[in-house]
Amino acid sequence: PDKVCGIYVTANNRNIMLRAQMPHIGLREDILRQLAYVVGKDPEHATLYDWRIALSHAVRERIVDRWFASTRRTYEEGAKRVYYLSMEFLIGRLLEDAITNLRLDEAAELAFRELGIDYAAVLLDEPDAALGNGGLGRLAACFLESLSTIGCPAYGYGIRYEHGLFRQSFEDGRQVEAPETWLLQHHVWEFERPEAMFQIGFGGEVREAGARAVWEPTEAVFAEAYDTPIVGWQGRWANTLRLWSARAVDPFDLERFNLGDYVAAAAPEALARTISRVLYPDDTTEPGKELRLKQEFFFTAASLRDILRRFDSEYDDIRKLPAKVAIQLNDTHPAIAGPELVRLLHDERGLEFDEAVALARGTLSYTNHTLLPEALEKWSEGLMGRLLPRHMTLIERIDALHARENPTRKAAARANGQVNMGELSFVMAHKVNGVSALHTELMKATVFEDLHQLHPDRIVNQTNGVTPRRWLLSCNPRLSALVTEAIGEDWVDDLEQLARLEPRLSDAGFVEGFAAAKRANKVDLSNWMAQGHDLLVDPEAMFDVQIKRIHEYKRQHLNILEAIALWQEIRANPDAGWAPRVKIFGGKAAPGYVFAKKIIRLINDVARVVNADPVTSPHLKVVFLPNYNVSLAERLIPAADLSEQISTAGKEASGTGNMKFALNGALTIGTLDGANVEIRERVGEENFFLFGMTADEVVNRRDIANHAAKAIAADTRLELALKAIREGAFSPKERDRYRDITDNLAGPDYFLVCSDFADYWRAQREADAAYRDSAAWTRKAALNTARSGWFSSDRTIRGYMGEIWNAGSLNP
């Protein structure tokens, strides 16, 4: 028999295997077959949706073969597996990603051309899988794709939320939230696994049984698995994203039903399903609700049971666990994995407590994504003791053991009536990592100072990255084609090859091609904004983009203040040769974050006034696009000239949007925060508009009395901009509408918007001047692309594999 993809094939399944090698073969026939036999439609009556489902099934078939092959290889090699536990996976659309990685794009386009169907529209019909808030969830999605591209055997584990992040619209400039209903349509990519079902308990009592204990929960739900294959570049490898859905153990109360109480009869099912019903819409802020803790335990406990079941199927010595299993905790959301794994090893498998802790520690590692105090998870002992009584005791014992091993230890996981999940994660992990060089150093100096002293080798840095398949190859086909033409296509999974573009900068044809790609992307975006949003913008203007969650530390209000000041200055002096600009905003505010929602409304109000001003309108437009999500990012980033990365220094752990912009040839205006520092180092300081205080200066500035008032008094532009807001220039019917914003900025101004304003203005005018010299600008933009190769998530994942997981690649 022949060997294809590492598997021996017989004549029977030869066709399947050939398709695995040459996926474009028979694509059109397969689409039609799927349309008929899976969707149940003939081509004459098929809607866009029907075509999309048919295409997705045809593509999915081509993944499944590789998926099986990857699983089989992992078993054959006895390879170590990596498990990435995350509350969030912000995947976006899956179809185009799969088509790109299987290199089916041309075949699919051709097939639909022959069928007379608009292929682009079929792709756009897919809803985003928005099972995440922002950077943390999107990072998890990039990591999954890189793990598959690299061929590292891995599973993502998370929650199959019925409703992902809410849909955002504006009414009268205000954010309105509507539930996201992505699962109402048939979700083609997942496979239900009713056989992988675990019962997860809550509450109840703990019975002592000698040295061990038996936990008897009073409440229980089933966790049911749904698997989505994640295929890597060129389809060489496919891993699994396994998401857990909650369902009732006793789904239906027949007795109640027979008594005629139909609502009560269905109640157990509704209650159980609550656990996987919605994603908490808070990014980097901690609501600390009981349901959230239940979600965390639910998916963590189910994942650990599944991991041990898979381990047991291959090995009979549990002491091999750290050699065969690496579990990464994506922030503290799955931190209960520490005590739960100890419980499984100690209470259920009878290991000595100390050995159970050592094995768990050898298996677990933890990524910290933020130092913001409000985002560091702490659970009250009361709540935790009620919901997870056994874990509460085990946490106490973990603390005691750690104190015995480290007598000088000061802090503890359990302190002041609360469980500090960061401390717990640190103590239960063999490695703890930050997500940018600056953030990792700040971890050592601030939040984890004591623990770092005790364990100086535990904290390591793994600067974030983004997958070049989605964030260049597929979202920016014009630039990708240009790059491939210049240096071949090896860059796609070896992004540092982009450095080979640099010598091409002396080639006028290449530079012109680069400028032309950007211009065409901007024209596309302008047309889309004109059609879908009734907004007319000039594609020759600088596209200045800030897209991210709305948060005071990210300082969208600094950006809009600068827009107001610019508007005022243009009005006063309309003929001063202004470089035309379009300021584009996108982002959602947590529904309970009142201040952030006010910022959204202010931006919309400013946009209304500024865009209607005939004097300034040739020079300045302000646009807030609703419902920012992964798909909108894919549209905006390739068309951006200027990337706004303006957080208060020390607050943004890394940022990942900053990397996507630089990769796509936008220049950054930014502070020395998060990965901006490393981006600037690599692209060169002359190709980056730096402004603002450093993290150290920020801390000192806060000690200066009336720092905001002083900054305002020293800067007339800032003073006038604030005055305009206060006097109702943007809310004529309600002068006080933004009183809380202006009061905050003039008073505490914790995020130092006023103190950084003057330098931000200076950097913006520098950007204006640079943009006027379009040849020089293009050169800087191209250098950003050429020097962004290091920010591939492939590099990040290799770092985790080598320094944290001790895991290898099985790619041929």
Q: Which two tokens stand for residue 167?
A: 């849909």
In angstroms, the CA 582 to CA 433 distance is 38
In angstroms, the CA 279 to CA 595 distance is 21
Q: Which two tokens stand for residue 8?
A: 């021996």
Residue nearer to ligand TH1 on the CB measure, 369 or 522: 369
Question: Cβ of residue 287: shortest distance to ligand TH1, in angstroms?
Answer: 10
Residue nearer to ligand TH1 on the CB measure, 464 or 742: 464
Q: What are the strands, taking DSSP E only, across 150-275?
A: 154-159, 167-171, 174-178, 191-202, 205-209, 212-216, 219-231, 238-248
Question: Cβ of residue 549: shortest distance to ligand TH1, in angstroms?
Answer: 8
Check binding of 331 to ligand TH1 (CB under 6 A). Answer: yes
For ligand TH1, the binding residues in 649-668 under the rule CB under 6 A are 652-656
Laid out side by side, the sheet with 459-461 consists of 191-202, 219-231, 238-248, 154-159, 81-85, 325-330, 364-367, 431-434, 459-461
Q: Which two tokens stand for residue 411?
A: 């802090």
Query: Phi-psi region for residue 429, left (φ > 0), alpha (ψ -120 to 50) or beta?
Result: beta
Question: Cβ of residue 671: shortest distance to ligand TH1, in angstroms?
Answer: 13
In angstroms, the CA 660 to CA 472 distance is 8
297 near 388, Cβ under 8 Å? yes
Among 47-55, 102-110, 385-393, 646-654, the segment contacting ligand TH1 (CB under 6 A)? 646-654
Check binding of 673 to ligand TH1 (CB under 6 A). Answer: no
Residue nearer to ligand TH1 on the CB measure, 435 or 565: 435
In angstroms, the CA 426 to CA 335 distance is 9
Check binding of 318 to ligand TH1 (CB under 6 A). Answer: no
Check binding of 544 to ligand TH1 (CB under 6 A). Answer: no
Question: Cβ of residue 340: shortest distance to ligand TH1, in angstroms?
Answer: 20
Check binding of 335 to ligand TH1 (CB under 6 A). Answer: no
Among 248-256, 367-375, 706-714, 717-725, the segment contacting ligand TH1 (CB under 6 A)? 367-375
For ligand TH1, the binding residues in 449-488 under the rule CB under 6 A are 464
Question: Cβ of residue 547: shortest distance to ligand TH1, in angstroms?
Answer: 14
**Interface residue with ligand TH1, options 34, 56, 101, 133 (CB under 6 A):** 133
**Interface residue with ligand TH1, options 139, 141, 221, 649 (CB under 6 A):** 139
Catalytic residues, which ones? Answer: 369, 548-549, 554, 656, 660
For ligand TH1, the binding residues in 752-771 under the rule CB under 6 A are none
DSSP string, 517-528: HHHHHHHHHHHH
Q: Which two tokens stand for residue 333?
A: 């959301």
In angstroms, the CA 227 to CA 794 distance is 23
Question: Cβ of residue 288: shortest distance to ligand TH1, in angstroms?
Answer: 12
Check binding of 369 to ligand TH1 (CB under 6 A). Answer: yes
Phi (first) and psi of residue 578, to 5 degrees: -70, 140
190 near 205, Cβ under 8 Å? no
Phi (first) and psi of residue 628, to 5 degrees: -60, 130
Question: Cβ of residue 373: shortest distance to ligand TH1, in angstroms?
Answer: 12
**Interface residue with ligand TH1, options 117, 220, 375, 729 (CB under 6 A):** 375
**Interface residue with ligand TH1, options 23, 268, 465, 674 (CB under 6 A):** 674
HSE-CB at 318 with a 13 A cutoff on CA atoms is: 19
Phi (first) and psi of residue 365, to 5 degrees: -145, 160
Among 133-141, 165-173, 343-351, 629-637, the segment contacting ligand TH1 (CB under 6 A)? 133-141
3-state class (DSSP) for residue 87: coil
Check binding of 784 to ligand TH1 (CB under 6 A). Answer: no
Question: Cβ of residue 302: shortest distance to ligand TH1, in angstroms?
Answer: 20
In angstroms, the CA 583 to CA 323 distance is 51
Residue nearer to ligand TH1 on the CB measure, 166 or 777: 166
* Closest by Cα among 230, 235, 189, 240 to 5: 235
Whose CB is nearest to ligand TH1?
A: 135
Check binding of 86 to ligand TH1 (CB under 6 A). Answer: no
Residue count at the site for ligand TH1 (CB under 6 A)? Answer: 19
Among 115-123, 132-140, 146-154, 167-175, the segment contacting ligand TH1 (CB under 6 A)? 132-140
For ligand TH1, the binding residues in 506-535 under the rule CB under 6 A are none
According to DSSP, the β-strands at 414-415 and 418-420 are antiparallel
Question: Cβ of residue 776: shortest distance to ligand TH1, in angstroms?
Answer: 30
772 near 581, Cβ under 8 Å? no
Residue nearer to ligand TH1 on the CB measure, 464 or 785: 464
Question: Cβ of residue 653: shortest distance to ligand TH1, in angstroms?
Answer: 4
Residue nearer to ligand TH1 on the CB measure, 217 or 799: 799
Residue nearer to ligand TH1 on the CB measure, 464 or 631: 464
Classify residue 32 by burial, with Cβ atoms within 10 Å: 0-12, 13-18, 19+: middle
Instruction: Give the contact letters, 284-313, x = binds to ligand TH1 (CB under 6 A), - = no.
Output: x-----------------------------
Q: Which two tokens stand for residue 406?
A: 């480290």
Residue nearer to ligand TH1 on the CB measure, 59 or 438: 438
Among 128-136, 304-312, 597-605, 688-696, the segment contacting ligand TH1 (CB under 6 A)? 128-136
Residue nearer to ligand TH1 on the CB measure, 88 or 162: 88
In angstroms, the CA 7 to CA 57 distance is 23
For ligand TH1, the binding residues in 423-442 under the rule CB under 6 A are 435
Check binding of 678 to ligand TH1 (CB under 6 A). Answer: no
**Interface residue with ligand TH1, options 27, 70, 98, 135 (CB under 6 A):** 135
Among 49-57, 292-300, 369-377, 535-543, the segment contacting ligand TH1 (CB under 6 A)? 369-377
Query: Phi-psi region for residue 359, left (φ > 0), alpha (ψ -120 to 50) or beta?
Result: alpha
Query: Phi-psi region for residue 46, left (φ > 0), alpha (ψ -120 to 50) or beta?
Result: beta
**Interface residue with ligand TH1, options 104, 136, 752, 807 (CB under 6 A):** 136
Check binding of 283 to ligand TH1 (CB under 6 A). Answer: yes
Residue nearer to ligand TH1 on the CB measure, 442 or 718: 442
Check binding of 621 to ligand TH1 (CB under 6 A). Answer: no
Neighbours of 588 (CB within 10 A): 27
Residue nearer to ligand TH1 on the CB measure, 293 or 435: 435
Q: Residues 335-352, buried b or exposed e (16+ Cβ, 10 A)?
A: bbbbbbbbbbbbbeeebe
Question: Cβ of residue 419: shortest distance to ligand TH1, in angstroms?
Answer: 17
Laid out side by side, the sheet with 542-547 consists of 620-625, 581-586, 542-547, 642-645, 667-670, 688-690
Residue nearer to ligand TH1 on the CB measure, 468 or 655: 655
Check binding of 165 to ligand TH1 (CB under 6 A). Answer: no
Instruction: Give the contact letters, 22-41, x = binds to ligand TH1 (CB under 6 A), - = no.
Output: --------------------
Residue nearer to ligand TH1 on the CB measure, 375 or 454: 375
CA-based angle 82:379:596, to the nearest 5? 90
Q: Residues 316-325, buried b or exposed e (16+ Cβ, 10 A)?
A: eebeebbebb
Question: Cβ of residue 674: shortest distance to ligand TH1, in angstroms?
Answer: 5
Rounded alpha-carbon distances, angstroms, from residue 583 to 529, 563, 741, 772: 13, 8, 20, 17
User: Which residues are CB-contacts of 10 (< 8 A; sequence separation ≥ 6)?
Assistant: 1
Rounded alpha-carbon distances, angstroms, from residue 612 to 59, 567, 580, 620: 47, 12, 16, 10
Question: Cβ of residue 176: shortest distance to ligand TH1, in angstroms?
Answer: 22
Residues that bind ligand TH1 (CB under 6 A): 133-136, 139, 283-284, 331, 369-370, 375, 435, 464, 652-656, 674
